Structure 1
Amino acid sequence: QWNILSDYFLCFLPEKQPVQIRENKRYESIKIVLSSSLSKVKFNFVLYLCENIFDRFLTFFQREEPLIHLLYHELNDLYRNVLLSFLKSDSVQQKSGQDLLNINFEQSALWISDKEIKIGRFDCERTRKLMSSLNFDEKKSFYQDVRKIYITIANYLKKNLLLNNMLLRDLQVLDHSSRTDQSSGDRIIRIARTIPNLLDDREIDKLENEWALYLVELVDRSWYIKDEYIDSNGNIQITHVASFLPAASQLRALRSMHRSCA
């Protein structure tokens, strides 16, 4: 798209419509941007942010299947990926929730160097090649802007993502992989008690007993494995069912939660 726009505004218009663009302030502004190598680098960085940081998160939750139990994990991953784009990995590690929120990302001691910061598509190579056309001051200005952008994004996510929300954290128990978690019983009961008008006391007691039975039962693989096959490299590939619940009362609970969140 950049090459098409450049060809149109910098070649076609001056040659075919010189009168229309003469002393046209809007055209001059566009010409300055398209003639600047720094502008191309900046646009490429914005494209990188969209494709590699935000697109997956946004498209992932556009699916029709129940995904509420994955939201907390994905929120943590989103925030963690942003931080890892400009911070040292040992300051982020596998932290989640409040531990992630406690990271002081404006502290320069935690920053990675300019050469390491994530700035472009295709493993950053395209943007780095484009930067060879920039002079020292332009490169310095660009990296300063990149850090400001990352810090601004991190501040926004820190303020708005519910990384310390107990309910979202507990809802992970609805994933089949949480079946072996020793705290799963406490978490499913907290969910039932937290959401208003979801279950009465008798149903909560029943849910607690059913969950205890579910933890020791042998669950058929078809409940949580949607597809299983061997790929061209001989590796086993497994697609899991988004979520499953073992008893009727829990199914009612999940449907009610989805209605509450709708």
Structure 2
Amino acid sequence: MSWLEAIVLGLIQGLTEFLPISSSAHLRISAAFAGWDDPGAAFTAVTQLGTETAVILYFRNKIGRVLVAWFRSLRRPSTWSDDPDARMGWLVIIGTLPIAILGLLFEDEIESAFRDLRLIAMTLIVFGILLGIADHYGRRERDLDHLTVPHGLGFGFAQALALIPGVSRSGGTITAGRLLGYKREEATEYAFLLAVPAVFASGLYQLTDIGGDTAPAWGPTIVATIVAFLVGFAVIAWLMRFIKTHSYLPFVIYRIALGVLILVLVMTGLLDPEAGPLV
């Protein structure tokens, strides 16, 4: 991987990680369009450490309260029901279990079959439609104080679907939240918080693969991660303002259009669904 590729892919990671359009799909598609090698799941996971660091910085006050309350709950279990921040800490852990288990079970598929551009295109379209339906028809009455263990697991299984590029980690969890009746801002905030332990665990787990036979070298990966952090922080701030007055419809339209474009290019032979370069 060249330095230019690293900068471009880091920029794409930062721009797309928090929007419900799938950063892993965009890294895969962008490399295919440019004729570059597939950056791979390890590169994606490690660069997401940069974007999740941006989440920690942006929500530092909220995350700090949750951590303090969670550690307090270890000494005083009664705070589970009394303290919303302590409950949030436990529910983030519970919601992380599905992606942790399924990520280990389907590790080989994540590296290979799940990166087929035809599958990515279909997930972009299908889950884009689901996001549109959930955002339009979902109730707007619950905030995060209403979060329960079943709801936390529901969010968690939706996040686990993002192991398939094209689903979108934020898009899947936001869709689940809207279907469960959570307000748009509340569902989005929990989607960001829920991603932190899963992404850090995945990124740290994949660190040993960087610089290997099929993964990019350390230098370009570090540059991409830094770029992703800087751009990601700006995107979080923009998105949290945007959703206060707008729906997710623009992202739904974009997902469907991109998915259709990929399918057309693959079916006409202009795009190799496995290797990716344009002919």
User: TM-score when scaled to structure 2?
Assistant: 0.25
Higher strand share: 1
Higher helix share: 2
User: TM-score when scaled to structure 1?
Assistant: 0.26
